[in-house]
Structures are given as C-alpha cells and as structure tokens.
Amino acid sequence: MSQAFRQTACRPGMRRIVLGALCALALAPAAHAAEFASQPVRLVVGTAAGGAVDTYARVVAEALSREIGQTVLVENKSGANGNIAAQYVIQQPADGNTLWIGTQAMVEINPVAFKQMPWKAEDFVPIIKGVEAPLVLATHPSVPARSLQELIGWARAHPGTGYASFSPGTPSQFLGYQLSESNQLDMVHVPYRGSAPQVADMVGGHALVGFTQIQTSLPLIQDGKLNAIATTSAQRSRFLPDTPTLDELGMPELQTTVWFGVMAPARIPADTRERLEQALVAVHRDPVVIKRLEDTGYDVSGQTGEPFAQAVADSRQRWAGLVKATGFAPED
C-alpha cells in the first residue's frame, strides 16, 4: 500500500468508505455462496410425475437436500419433448437454484431434430450424468429368431415388418433404422407414445420387434413374454448377463445408452457450478442413493466435467446424421 493511499485512507471520512469497500469486496463471494445455500434449489423435470425421470429427480432431490442443508424441490413441466422445461430453466436467474433434469433424447437429439426451438444447445452446461441404461433389442416369442443373425434372416424374409419405438425421435427409432439399413432390410417404423404401450403391443403380437427400455421389458423377458436378442451397452448388462451386446455381435455403431442427468444454464458462475458439481458427485456416490437408483433398473454413472460435455457433443453429432437420414421432423 502506498504512503499516499495510507494517508488518504486514514482520514476519518475516507476510512469508513475504504474499509466498507474492502469489506464488500471480501464478502462478495461469501454472499454469493450464502445466496445459493439459502434459497430452495429446484430440479425441473420435463416429464410428468411418476415416470422414470421424475423418480430419478426425487431420489437426487432428497439426497441433495441433505448434502447442502437446504430444501430441494422437484417441479414437473412436461410437454414438447422436454423443451418446455428447458425453456423455463434458461428464463430463470443463472444462480444455481434452478436446474434442469435432462435426458439423453432431450439433450442430445432435440437440438438437432427440432427446426424451431426455444433454447439452444449452448444455453446449457452439463453438470453430471446421473444414471444410464442400455436398450434391449427384443422380439415377440412368435418370431423364431434367437440370435441377431437369425433375426436379420427372418426380417429379410418378411419385408415390411414393423419395428416399434417407444417414442418418435428417440434412440429406439433411430437404432431400428440403423439395423434395417445396415442389413438391407425392409423394416417399417411403428412409433408409440411411451415404453408401456410399446411393450404392451409387443407382448400382444401387434409389433414383433423393437428396441425397448430395459426397465419396462426386463420383467416381460424374465416371464418369457418377450425374447432378448441383444443390448446396446458397451458391456453386458448385469440384468441380462446371458444376452450379448450389439458391439459383441459386430454392430458397434448401434451402441448407446439412455441417461438422465443434471444440467445448468450456461451463464452459471464458475464457482457456483463447481459447488454444484461437488455436491452432486457426493450424492451419486452415496451407497443409499446408488442402491435406490440401481433398484429402478439403472446404473449410476456420475460422469462430470469435460468428459461428460464431450460425450454429449459427440453423440449430438451422431444423432444429427441419423435425424437427417431418416427425415425425422418433430412437431415443434
């Protein structure tokens, strides 16, 4: 500190001003932290209450509340494939108190599928990939195939066979397209509005083939009402250890998982983002949380930082090519 500054600062009137300014600067980060810690945190879910995404959000909310010592609320704002929830979050202050529970389809596919959207990929920064699970290529028992090659042969002999997806614009649609195109099959996309109606029609024999959510198809596979041909994970699923992966069977391009995770507005301050990430990492390492999430049929990922952001960017590019190839055009 210079002599001139000391003399000026020590004048009675200036002393209060200078000390006040220095105190304000010193307390600014702490005040910001206090603001984050003193307000309820909201996890905004783009699906209706009671579904798989909502269940994940509520498990995380309960544990995060304990971790940060504050109330954490779950708000459901369903509609438009999650775009309504995303738009709502980016309209709120980027202070870490309003976060979006994103899904693989919402975060990776929506930005490259919707021509008009109220948000852009750059509006969000990934914080943590919470849980993930593979899809299962399943068939009705009337299909005589018990392996991928047998299924390909059967489908080739039955042109026009429909493949069921649990929703348009999701991996279940695009993987079916890839399976058909890669093997010169003539399969037709049959979209449903949710996993439950998809597998219900497959069990009823109205749709014979489809990439299904493991959470909804597993009980039916175990009961012999559906047959599992392959999974889309990098390694075999702990739920279906005897079912090979598509990677093992020579189709690594069909490898994917569906995931849920926490996204924050890109404008969030770096220190707030860091605190959020630390708290959410602790939550996803909690043995009680892990067991609760695994009991729902998911594997806990916990991927954060640049690896998570890069994985999202790479997958988004992949789905962009498939969206274009299929001519998929969602209703904005």
State pLDDT tens for residues 145-160.
999 999 999 999 999 9
- How far from 101 is each of 3, 40, 82, 247, CA to CA, in Å? 55, 16, 9, 29
Instruction: Render pLDDT for 161-205 as a digit per residue (tens, 0 to 9).
Output: 999 998 888 999 999 999 999 999 999 999 998 888 999 999 999
Start-end of H helices in 206-304: 214-222, 270-285, 287-294
Question: So what's the pLDDT on residue 39?
Answer: 82
* Residues near 133 by beta carbon (within 8 Å), at least 6 away in sequence: 213, 214, 215, 233, 237, 257, 258, 259, 297, 298, 299
The residue type at 222: Q
Nearest to 313 by CA among 150, 124, 175: 124
**28, pLDDT greater than 50:** no
Instruction: For residue 18, count other CB atoms closer than 10 A to its CB.
Output: 15
To which residue do tokens 């984050």 refer? 36
pTM of the model: 0.81
